[in-house]
Structure 1
Amino acid sequence: MDRRDFLRSTLAAGTAGLAASAVTSSAASMQVAPSDRLRLGFLGTGARAHQLIDACRALPGLEIVALCDAYTGRAERAKARSGGSAAIRPDYRAVLDDRGVDAVFIVTPDHWHRTMALAALDAGKDVYLEKPMTYAIAEGREIIAAVDRSSRVLQVGSQGPSSALERAAREIVKSGRLGQITLVRAAFNRNSAGGAWLYPIPPDASETTVNWAQFLGSAPPRPFSLERFFRWRCYWDYSGGLATDLFVHLATTIHHVLDVQGPSHVMAAGSTHRWTVTHEVPDTIDALLTYPEGFTVTLGCTLNSTGGEEGVHIHGTKGTLHLLGDRLRLTTEQPGDDNRWVVRSWPESLERAYYADPKVQAIETAGSQRQQTSPSGEEWVVRGEGEDVAHVRSFVEAVRSRTQPVEDARFGHRAAAVAHLVNQSIREGRRLTFDV
């Protein structure tokens, strides 16, 4: 099977799998008994939660029955969006105490993830936990232990591993078609106030509609601030900034597609160049990761420009695989050397003898042709049912089968640890060992 046929069959298999999944889903929507329905609670109903609510509503057998948020307006809108029958609870513990809730979606600022995840697992709930899994590295080990102790299902919410594109990319890498992989370049850039998390604040937000103490939780005491509440990713108290928001997505994709667990060393640099008034966290970061499998990863992110090449680019000795949103592109290497500019400096008799060798002629001809033509490549648009719907489906299937999903607590811990070590490297100005 040549490269073209291999990729065509790989992508066709992925498409067929999606079609079969859709058929199964459609059949399930007619067969799910009331006793088999999963009753869901949402802890946190901000903008990201509303996207997940839409995904839940698109799948059969799911019912959102309880909601909790520190801003009343978001909770009320989430109730309407989820069908109008969900109960709004004043405290997340009331959702966990509700025996009518089978599983919870934790969609809060990062500093609440550990507390809510541990409480949910102890309460016997299965957990969909938004990325990053943790606010600090040590929290990952606690959550893993709680999952093992409770035998509950936990899935981290970085959607890539459930996508058709990543499944196809993973198969291509496994096939060996890229040759020896030595480098991965990945970038995620933005250039807008919204992209920098300076989201609009609802006009009715005030100390009356926002429960400030509930938002702070274990974070350091601060005076009431709508900016901190609605733009929390800008502040170290609640977030790890770019690394935990965007690098976690990149690390998740790299770990999944290349089937690796984490780097051996991490080194990074970052600073706040533009958003100095509004951001405590850096607006520009570059990181260098060394993996024990024998390749290097560069991660880049800025909130100040979208001019660079984004996506994940896996470079091998035989080809490079580019993951670009919903597009997958493969460019192939054409080996060969054109050493004429070097050999022409030799004594003339040695130059003639060199080119008289048939093996040298073949290598030099290939090298000359490679310089005259761009690498060949093919590109596909790989669209599934939507990453959010696919990832929620993965969670539901894991809950119903009582098996841990691909992006389980251990996976989520290692992806988040990359981001935490990037931030630590920036603060300490040194290379760190990945030992988590």
Structure 2
Amino acid sequence: MSEKSKINRRQFIQRSALGSAAMGMALGESHGEAPEVPARVPASDKVTVGMIGVGARAQELMQAIMTLPGTEIVGVCDAYKGRTDRAVARTKGRAKVYKDYKEILADKSIDTVVIATPDHWHATMAIDAVRAGKDVYVEKPMTYAVEEGNNIIAEVKKAGRILQVGSQGMSSRTQQKAREIIASGKLGQVTMVRAFYNRNTAGGAWIYPIPPDASPQTVNWEMFLGPAPKRSVDYARFFRWRCYRDYSGGIATDLFVHLVTSIHFMMNAKMPANFVAMGQLYRWKESRDVPDTVNAILEYPEGFTANLSSTFNNQLSSEGGFQILGTKGSLVLGNGLSFHPEIVSEDNRWIVESWPETLEEAYYKDPKVRSEELPNTREPEVLAGEEQFREIGFDATIMRQDAEAAFAGRPCRSPQRCMRAPHQPVDTRKEDGELGRRERDCQSLKQMACENSLQTGRECR
């Protein structure tokens, strides 16, 4: 949205410098384009920015901020000298290095700060910043511990400042379009959302390379620790902090926060009423004390369930995405946005064949019955992007079954069994009849599965 009129300093901070448009540009992931940034503003409205923490993510944010009109990054601070050197170079030498973040907060010439430090520092720094009269953009998650959130909110209100939490996915046009489609009712009744974040590399699992110049001369270990438990110097912990509970919640707070925030935005939801989660460390055991595989089920009072999953041990099709499942169709978000109409046909032949023949004949003479048995065969509608996930139609049913079975202590159904006999009961024969899963649908599913197998190099069964 282009803005030609003059905007004052406060409006600019709210709408651009720390706004979701700016940070959405820095995502570097395929969640769609961010909205356009505002037009150039007068010099008198220039916003000065101090960067607290200038690691890899913060330097992406710096690049985005520097493209915005009327902004200037004037200060940087980090516990590793190599990062501050690189950050100053990005500003062509204009930014000043501060040894302590409190020096940035004490500088009256700085309007606003970006906090992109390890999670365990977020609450302390954000509260200190608003008390110092700064507006704040803090990277997700807002806090390391839940109870810290209430403290931040209270301090922001008391100080009358602006604080925004970085969650750039919902700034993308793709998710904004998805929100509009869901609200329009095009999907029918949405009762399930599936979201995932999967990786299968050391870097994806946060085992980042450690710079060879790491030493007591370049790394301020005590500054890094801050409120965390005291430990001896450990550069693996310093540069790979997401792998350790002292500084991060791992997948739940680093990746699930993206998924949950986006689900809340697209579904216009607030807070789950119930949830259950399970995580385990299966593979990267020598490099962390947080799980490398996590699954969670969230139940919302708005009338849907969200299934979240993440693993660092496989990356099928895409790193992350969403499936929003409605009674009339589904939205798939990943490397784009596509709408998939439901393929539904009612075939109750196996039921009515047990009736007296005269009643069976009368049943099939009913025009309504004949029309309901005609399947919907429309092709998926591509709404944004060029790539879509290739999914098999029975996955949602199996996932729901397995969730219910796990809670009830029953064995889970496998996809292979569903493929062999999709007309068998899901939970009851009555429910199966309502789902209309018969041989005609079975052949369609088998064909989809076969095509998917051939594309991935697996044997088609």
What is the TM-score when the length of structure 2 is the normalising length? 0.74
1:33: Cα distance to partner? 2.8
CA distance in 2, matches of 1:38, 1:304: 43
Q: For the Cα contact (< 8 Å) 1:38–1:103, is it kept in 2?
A: yes
User: Quick one: which amino acid aligns to residue 367 of structure 2?
Assistant: P
Is 1:343 the equivalent of 2:352? yes
Is 1:226 the equivalent of 2:235? yes
Is 1:254 the equivalent of 2:257? no
| Percent of paired sites with the same residue | 54
Q: Which residue of 2 aligns with 1:401?
A: none
Deviations 1:316-368 (A, max 9, x none): 1111111113x01101124430112222232222211111222222222x2xx
CA distance in 2, matches of 1:43, 1:273: 34
CA distance in 1, matches of 2:280, 2:68: 42
- Cα 1:126–1:19 shift into 2, 3 Å: closer
Deviations 1:81-123 (A, max 9, x none): 1231111000000000000100000000000000000000000
Choose the corresponding residue for 1:376, options 379, 400, 413. Answer: 379
User: Quick one: which amino acid aligns to residue 323 of structure 1?
Assistant: L
Choose the corresponding residue for 2:189, options 154, 176, 180. Answer: 180
CA distance in 1, matches of 2:74, 2:337: 39
Is 1:51 the equivalent of 2:60? yes
Q: Secondary structure at the match of 1:188?
A: strand
- Cα 1:338–1:305 shift into 2, 3 Å: same
Is 1:100 the equivalent of 2:109? yes
Q: For the Cα contact (< 8 Å) 1:79–1:88, is it kept in 2?
A: yes
Q: Which residue of 1 aligns with 2:3?
A: none
Is 1:125 the equivalent of 2:134? yes
Deviations 1:243-288 (A, max 9, x none): 1110000001100111111101110111000011111000000000
1:187: Cα distance to partner? 0.5
Q: For the Cα contact (< 8 Å) 1:54–1:82, is it kept in 2?
A: no
CA distance in 2, matches of 1:108, 1:336: 53
Is 1:317 the equivalent of 2:327? yes
How does 1:32-431 map onto structure 2 within 5 Å?
32-307=41-316, 310-325=320-335, 327-364=336-373, 366=374, 369-370=375-376, 373=377, 376-381=379-384
1:20: Cα distance to partner? 9.1
Q: Secondary structure at the match of 2:324?
A: strand
Gaps spanning 5+ residues in structure 2: where? 1-32, 387-461
Gaps spanning 5+ residues in structure 1: where? 1-17, 384-436
What RMSD in Å do the two structures reach over aligned CA positions?
1.7
Q: Secondary structure at the match of 2:207?
A: coil
CA distance in 2, matches of 1:164, 1:249: 16
Q: Secondary structure at the match of 1:99?
A: coil
User: Quick one: which amino acid aligns to residue 212 of structure 1?
Assistant: W
User: Quick one: which amino acid aligns to residue 54 of structure 2?
Assistant: T
CA distance in 2, matches of 1:66, 1:51: 16
Q: Which residue of 1 aligns with 2:442?
A: none
Deviations 1:20-69 (A, max 9, x none): 945x52xx1xxx33321000000001000110010011111110001100
User: Quick one: which amino acid aligns to residue 138 of structure 2?
Assistant: L
Q: Secondary structure at the match of 2:148?
A: helix
User: Quick one: which amino acid aligns to residue 297 of structure 2?
Assistant: L
- Cα 1:19–1:361 shift into 2, 3 Å: closer
CA distance in 1, matches of 2:369, 2:176: 41
CA distance in 2, matches of 1:194, 1:382: 26
User: Quick one: which amino acid aligns to residue 297 of structure 1?
Assistant: A
User: Quick one: which amino acid aligns to residue 274 of structure 1?
Assistant: R
Q: For the Cα contact (< 8 Å) 2:49–2:112, is it kept in 1?
A: yes
Deviations 1:128-155 (A, max 9, x none): 0000111000011111111111111111
User: Quick one: which amino acid aligns to residue 143 of structure 1?
Assistant: I
Q: Secondary structure at the match of 1:301?
A: strand
Q: For the Cα contact (< 8 Å) 1:125–1:152, is it kept in 2?
A: yes
User: Quick one: which amino acid aligns to residue 380 of structure 1?
Assistant: L
1:381: Cα distance to partner? 3.0
- Cα 1:196–1:323 shift into 2, 3 Å: same
Higher relative contact order (CA 8 A, sep 6+): 1
Q: Secondary structure at the match of 2:255?
A: helix
1:167: Cα distance to partner? 1.1
Deviations 1:200-233 (A, max 9, x none): 1111011111000000001001010000000000
Considering fraction of residues, name the structure with more helix. 1
Q: Secondary structure at the match of 1:63?
A: strand
- Number of paired residues? 353
CA distance in 2, matches of 1:169, 1:20: 15
Q: For the Cα contact (< 8 Å) 1:164–1:382, is it kept in 2?
A: no
- Cα 1:64–1:19 shift into 2, 3 Å: closer
What is the TM-score when the length of structure 1 is the normalising length? 0.78
